[in-house]
Structure 1
Amino acid sequence: MSLERFAELWASSSYPPDPVTEADIRIVEQRFGFCLPNEYRHAVLQVGLPRPTIALLDAIVDRELYLRDLSNFLNPSEIVSVTDDWRYLGLPEDLVAFATDCMGNLFCFCNANDGEEAAPVFFFDHDDQTVDVIAPSFNQWIDEFCGVAPH
């Protein structure tokens, strides 16, 4: 599983991934009226939410990779609060944030991809309020980070 590999590479063994329950996922889905992609659901229910260390950002910068860094996975309550807060600041209504980069930009799913096995990962840049598809699925997005060799 790629999220498990991500946690091995980029999270501290001193801080295991934060557990996520089915009830946690349902709260997010009920709040936003859509089902999260099955790839994401399965991964976070099995692995939890890893907390990446600065080593990931350092590796991306040192190697001059064209890859947006993943700084933080949002827990279910943060998914709700961050998404709600950013909607007032320009986040499109059809996007739901699930992670951030080191600058506070958002990685999101689109609620139009309701319950699909694999759904695109969107990047919302809060500075210019642009939205880009950065990966065709959650697993492919995580695999990009797993392909970066640690120092």
Structure 2
Amino acid sequence: MHPDYPPVPVAEEDLQVAENQLGNRFPEEYRRAVLNVGLLSPTVDLLSAIVERELDLYCLGDMYSPRDVIQETLSWREIGMPDALVAFAGDESGNKFCFSASHSDSGDASSRKIWLFDHDFKSVEEVATSFDVWIDALSTVEPLAEIVV
């Protein structure tokens, strides 16, 4: 994160509207994070560090507002994303980070998993066992050392 791009606050009411429209309750870890911290928009430095260090991580581009969660989910479902997914963020290539729509309100372990929908291959891959595990992995990526001339 960069100080010029702080997290964007999210209101409980906005989350509830998105949940109602999509017919799901978002995982509690996600709800807690976006209500307490806000929506993150990492800089290109995260992508650079992941690529340079050849880390086994997909880079977060942007987290979607509750309104955008609705739009992204419904529009991507129309063009091939499985109905069982709810898109809450994207990577730098336009792929979607998702929750499981069919279980996001059940509280079981499968409901907490984070999935990546690859729009090029129309494939789905598990990227983390929970939102906290996923965001913690991204937040512990050390920035590359600045080159001093």
TM-score normalized by the length of structure 2? 0.91
Counterpart of 2:61?
71
* 1:123 partner SS: strand
Alpha-carbon deviation of 1:65?
Answer: 1.1
1:142 aligns with 2:135: yes
Say if 1:91 and 1:124, in contact at 8 Å, map to a contact too.
Answer: yes
Return structure 1 stretches of 4+ with deviation > 3 angstroms.
none
Select 1:44's aligned residue among 34, 40, 59.
Answer: 34
Identity level (%): 44
User: Which residues of 2 match residues 1-151 of structure 1 at below 5 A?
Assistant: 11-115=1-105, 116=107, 119-151=112-144
Note the residue ranges of structure 2 that are not aligned, 5 or more in a row.
145-149
Count of equivalent residues = 141
* CA distance in structure 2 between the aligned counterparts of 1:69 and 1:16, rounded to whole angstroms: 18
Higher RCO (CA 8 Å, separation ≥ 6 residues): 1
* CA distance in structure 2 between the aligned counterparts of 1:94 and 1:131, rounded to whole angstroms: 11
| Residue identity matched to 2:136 | D
| Residue identity matched to 1:134 | V
| Residue identity matched to 2:26 | L
Alpha-carbon deviation of 1:117?
Answer: 7.6
More moved, 128-137 vs 141-150: 141-150
* CA distance in structure 2 between the aligned counterparts of 1:113 and 1:126, rounded to whole angstroms: 22
* CA distance in structure 2 between the aligned counterparts of 1:124 and 1:86, rounded to whole angstroms: 10
TM-score normalized by the length of structure 1? 0.90
* CA distance in structure 2 between the aligned counterparts of 1:15 and 1:26, rounded to whole angstroms: 25
* 1:134 partner SS: strand
Residues 70/132 of structure 1: CA separation in 2 closer, same or farther (3 Å cut): same
**Residues 95-138 of structure 1: CA deviation (Å, up to 9, x unaligned):** 00000000000000011223228600010000010001110000
